[in-house]
């Protein structure tokens, strides 16, 4: 249950909160509200899948609602959805397959195609904040924790990682890649082992995301971070034990 301002039922505030937590938006009919919500999702680089049923708007407002957005998605598909790597050439065909032809297409056929498209979209992304200095004494332990534990839990949750220095980046400057990666991710895993200043900066930047904080057992929590729940892992424990512990911590805190 997510609350906006106490006593308020303002639709714009509800839409802003919805866009903050949603990963994919599917629209049918509507007017100004649907158009505003779609714009909020696109601003956060979330996928928007508009269906073209000619239902109109209850208030007769807007400029076509989902029906107009569906036409635009056929013309500019990459502005609406992002496909998994290797499936980009199927973007147009998948969106075109959702055409209802004024409702004449069988409901189940449209539903099946919609579910298929959802499975082909890039998964929600999790940004990794962690020790990257390979000369640091604890780099090996942190690397083992992320490769053997965090990667497995993230993949199991149907998410995709974003890790600086490991994963491909579209930016020449790492700082730009970091800021953009955090801003457009759904969640962040922040490990403060080693007390690197950049990790604390990135933790502050990720405050608006679902954030999991981790650290090697014995790492002191600095500043006001003590108020944020932290999962402390032990190097000597097996990956299986740590995976289960992290999984339980994640479910309990989020």
Closest to 120 (Cα-Cα) out of 99, 92, 90: 90
Residue 170 has a pLDDT of 64
DSSP state letters, 91-130? HHHHHHTT--TTTTS-HHHHHHHHHHHHHHBPPPEEEEE-
Q: Domain ranges for the chain, please list them.
A: 11-120, 125-253
What pTM was estimated for this model as a whole? 0.82
For residue 254, the model assigns a pLDDT of 66
Nearest to 72 by CA among 57, 46, 52, 47: 52
Segment-wise mean pLDDT, segments of 10 residues, the chain, 254 residues = 77 90 95 97 95 93 96 95 94 95 94 97 94 95 98 96 79 72 91 90 81 94 78 97 97 79
pLDDT at 201 (0 to 100)? 84
Q: What is the CATH number of domain 125-253?
A: 3.40.50.10140
pLDDT at 172: 55
Q: pLDDT at position 157, please?
A: 94
Q: What pLDDT sits at residue 183?
A: 86
């Amino acid at each position: 249950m997510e609350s906006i301002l106490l006593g308020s039922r303002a639709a714009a505030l509800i839409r802003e909160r919805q866009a903050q937590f949603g990963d994919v938006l599917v629209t049918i009919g509507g007017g100004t509200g649907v158009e505003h919500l779609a714009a909020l999702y696109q601003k956060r680089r979330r996928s928007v899948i508009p269906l073209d049923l000619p239902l109109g708007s209850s208030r007769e407002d807007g400029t076509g609602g989902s029906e107009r957005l569906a036409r635009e998605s056929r013309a500019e598909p990459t502005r609406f959805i992002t496909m998994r790597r290797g499936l980009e050439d199927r973007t147009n065909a998948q969106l075109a397959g959702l055409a209802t032809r004024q409702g004449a297409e069988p409901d189940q056929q449209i539903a099946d195609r919609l579910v298929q498209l959802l499975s082909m979209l890039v998964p929600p992304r999790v940004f990794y904040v962690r020790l990257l200095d390979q000369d640091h004494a604890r780099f090996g332990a942190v690397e083992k924790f992320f490769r053997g534990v965090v990667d497995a839990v993230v993949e199991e949750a149907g998410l995709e990682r974003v890790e600086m220095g490991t994963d491909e980046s579209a930016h020449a400057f790492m700082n730009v890649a970091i800021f953009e990666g955090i801003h457009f991710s759904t969640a962040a895993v922040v490990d403060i082992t080693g007390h690197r200043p950049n990790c604390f900066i990135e933790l502050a930047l990720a405050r608006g995301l679902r954030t999991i904080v981790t650290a090697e057992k014995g790492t002191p929590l600095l500043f006001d971070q003590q108020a944020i729940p932290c999962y402390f892992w032990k190097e000597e424990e097996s990956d299986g034990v740590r995976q289960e512990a992290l999984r339980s911590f994640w479910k309990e805190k989020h």
